[in-house]
Structure 1
């Protein structure tokens, strides 16, 4: 059987391409290695271990059958690769944060601060070219200004002490603070006004119910149609639109979605002297059966680790050696304040306020439940706080030594309860470095071929990356002090590989990029990439998902016009929001 398009991966980017092309009548097959959770209220719980256990949790990176082992990745350094498998991918446990990238990471930027960016690895087009695609994705999800709660009030009160202005535009124009722009529906009706479960049923309650469990997916409010769930992870937004395309698009054709289907090979053919993508082989997890289908176009969207792994395991060309290289990660860190009063840490959207420092990165608040709070306070490259330091010697406006909070001190801190803590996440503008990369491991292969090895030299970042991280850590501590924290902890996290990008990067030069400016492979025709790995750099620090989705929209348009004789639609049509009642009725 031959399709128009096969998309590999139903995470943050793949469903965007699938939905946009299906809306224009193309025959699209969407493959996902993990499970499809058709009824989260029956299949999920709010229990932290049930959701987040890396070996058995329903949001682990592993097969649909939770009795089977999780999928192996080799990490030779002290790091933690946080991935989720299943329809929705890592958007299942993201916080919905949807800021735009900083303009300084795009080609042609001429701002006064241009020397602060990784100009050698800029996007191969200007920022303004992406704005219509941002607007399209923002309207489709939709993206809305986050609802404010207690922790946002505390965070923003601290931000006022930093001497930076309030940002009022979606485009970040300078150092500033503001509510997040989130892919989370604002609360309506009784939502956000009561904690009584009996009064938090749709349609009496709409949007975010302030349950505080963003990290465990989203199934709120009760009785809502799937496309009305509060958090706009792709399983709640783009996937429902993809599979119901005939109901809301005049020429729509429903996407064929196959979960539990792990792609193991991209096939190519030689045509007129060129290598061309021809099809895909995948393995059905439940049975071990192998299947192959051909297509006119293949789109890789498995993520910054899985996409280069599939490329390398398929034996696709890599003449410049940049497949898998340039792994950027925002070099995350955490700073936490302990307060005398209630901070609302565990309630409401998990991250709803931010500070932006173009040229350095960003800060955002993150609300956590107890087990995740203990986890983030125990992941460090600086050893055990007050006991050993690993030679890091980091100093700043925090209490005592940097490092893990453990034992009696952790118990004492958590005795106050998580709602006396306020967490600030540091998002560093991380330089593209060739030695941070995905390769094939020498460990025994699994059922899908050689497993990936993720190499991160956390202590060998560029001077600029390291300086950015320290700048932001100090700003975070100053913010918490300004908000009234009586104690401030800085953890110096080992690489928490959550915001990961650029391993199949698009770029200006064929010497250090895999994709051209259309997100098409430089060496294989009809082969595109539509996940975080396609990003040219770390975006200056902002959360990556919205930019990936805007870029995936642009890539879908390039595929439609370049391979199927279609017309461009962004800027010429009005987007249909994923909450459209026609989608609800068709589900």
Structure 2
């Protein structure tokens, strides 16, 4: 019997595994997808090879790339861009790590306190989470992003519309700043040579970010670096190596065990003293179909916003208030493209290294993409074709022409003129938690793991506050592009791109509309915790969710340790071990992939 079983090795599960293994607990970490043990040889910069949702090495599917991807039903125009495998969706995240807005927490009393989703606040204060933010920021580590040309163009536009520079990690006013991101700073030859295949960009001649521009396709750069020194601090490069080597870096630590290709199909429970208690899990080995069961004192569910509610429902766990799977928020993205006569070097460097935030509204960040993804971003629309067929939508504003997807000569002009003369801005909305946006079980045929999830978004039924927030930030983004010197500004009007998602298993202040209590423990199943984005109480005011989910997972690990294993909290009294510690690098050589 294990001390702790963690289901899912994405953005949150490895955080709990690392922290509890470092305290000497026996931790089993199960991941349904593959483990890419050697990305240096397994991964490429070929976009279709990486990102094809059916066959790419970064997809939501099993270890065998010849087998079909795992299916989810989506009845509306949308795209679920979530990944399986060790590292989960952090494998293609941009590493951006802003903190949540203070106004989304209980106890906030700022002048803008009524501008947020006040019906779904976190059940504790922002100040209580700050030490956990600091712990994760030191562990990854999170640093001020390295700047490039596209960032200077973005900043010029922000200054042009009168935004001030933000100088603190806590956002208190409309402002812009360099990203705080989890990407190691360039060192040696990194950033000093232009050829992506230059031999000087190998470790140790180069360290940290090499500005290759392929952040969406995992990160093994610089070539030859130990896994825990890869530039982008996705969990497969940071928390997972720490969990697997806890016996080397922590006094009394015990290395966690990782099993990939292990799809958990059921969480087991029993009744004890009138309460339902989690006791273990059953999983299926994808390559063989073998079924295994193991018990534990505590189970941590970290399968993500779609799979966590699916597993709960497939396990027939209690759901008395009907909120399992509800409140699935997506930051109601939009996409703005500025076309410039000057070079923006959009494809160079970290994908996104600059942002602006508008407390109570949301925020925006610059994004540089590779050619295939740039084309995808320009045609992914809910408004039809610009100037031809608009589905009755095509919102109008300070952009050129109606909103919608780019096609034909217009798209050719944008791409043939060069993606390095474009500047993209991602609009990130502070959207309300809405009960009708949810995950349920599909009526379509089940797969080998049970009934598949159905993800339903009522695109036309967004709250008035959400709609107003999206329009506000979209207009600001257009103004920034104009002020930066864009000769043309295009608004694409994206449908739901389920990438920044949260809250489908939310914690909350009330038993009426939440699944978890303030410790992230399930209200109706003792010893069952949730430690992924689905546990977040709301959409954070708009900031990217990974840092907050990892800070919350650190806090959850402490609660597990003190509540069920008699341990003392550590965050307030210890210094974290940084994930780039040399002891981890040396011990990783002994860990069997």
Quickly name the TM-score band, shorter chain normalised: over 0.9
| Aligned ranges 1:60-459 → 2 under 5 Å | 60-196=59-195, 197-459=198-460
Q: Quick one: distance in 2 between partners of 1:277 and 1:165?
A: 50
Q: CA deviation at 1:407?
A: 2.0
CA distance in 2, matches of 1:322, 1:504: 7
CA deviation after TM superposition for structure 1 residue 93, in Å: 0.3
What is the SS of the residue equivalent to 1:468?
helix
- Cα distance between partner residues in 2 of 1:551 and 1:83: 20
Deviation at 1:536, TM superposition (A): 0.2
Judge which range, 375-384 or 437-446, deviates more.
Answer: 375-384
Aligned to 2:12: 13
- The Cα of 1:408 is off from its aligned counterpart by 2.4
Tell me by how many angstroms 1:204 deviates.
1.4
Q: Distance in 1 between matches of 2:414 and 2:210?
A: 28
How many Å apart are 1:377 and its aligned residue? Answer: 0.6
Q: Distance in 2 between matches of 1:33 and 1:420?
A: 40
How far apart are the structure 1 equivalents of 2:351 and 2:123? Answer: 34
Residue number in structure 2 paired with 1:30 = 29
C-alpha distance in 2 between matches for 1:161 and 1:118:
30
| Residue-by-residue CA offset, 1:131-172 (whole Å, 9 max, x unaligned) | 000000000000000000010011111110121210011111
SS at match of 1:124: coil
Gapped regions of structure 1 (runs ≥ 5): none
Aligned-partner Cα distance in 2 for 1:486–1:103: 37
Kindly report structure 1 stretches of 4+ aligned residues shifted beyond 6 Å: none
Deviation at 1:515, TM superposition (A): 0.2
Displacement of 1:195 after TM fit? 2.3
Instruction: Give 1:173 deviation, angstroms.
Output: 1.5
Q: Give CA deviations for 1:44-83 in whole Å, capped at 9, x if unaligned.
A: 0000000000000000100000000000000000000001
Q: How does 1:454-465 map to 2 (within 5 A)?
A: 454-465=455-466
Q: Which consecutive residues of structure 2, in runs of 5 or more, have no partner in the other structure?
A: 589-593
**CA distances 1:549-583 after superposition (whole Å, capped 9, x unpaired):** 00000000000000000000001000010001110
Q: What is the RMSD of the two structures over their aligned residues, measured on CA atoms? A: 0.6
Q: Deviations over 1:228-263 (max 9, x none)?
A: 000000000000000001110001101100000000
Verify the 8 A CA contact 2:394 2:493 in the aligned structure 1: no
Aligned partners of 2:212 and 2:349 also within 8 Å = yes
User: Using the alignment, how far apart are the partners of 2:305 and 2:36 within structure 1?
Assistant: 23
Give the distance between the partners of 1:393 and 1:16, measured in 2 at CA: 42
What SS does the aligned partner of 2:128 have? helix
Q: Does 1:56 align with 2:42?
A: no
Partners of 1:527 and 1:162 lie apart in 2 by 48
Q: Distance in 1 between matches of 2:159 and 2:365?
A: 14
3-state secondary structure, aligned to 1:309: helix
> How many Å separate the matches in 2 of 1:461 and 1:293?
42
CA deviation after TM superposition for structure 1 residue 492, in Å: 0.7
State the Cα deviation string for residues 366-423 of structure 1 (Å, max 9, x = none): 1000000000111111110010111114111111111000122211211101101100
Shift of 1:203: 1.4
- Aligned residue in 2 for 1:475: 476
Residue 591 of structure 2 aligns with which residue?
A: none
Aligned to 2:459, the other structure's residue is in SS state: coil
2-structure distance, mates of 1:282, 1:407: 48
Contact 2:334 2:427 in 1 (8 A): yes
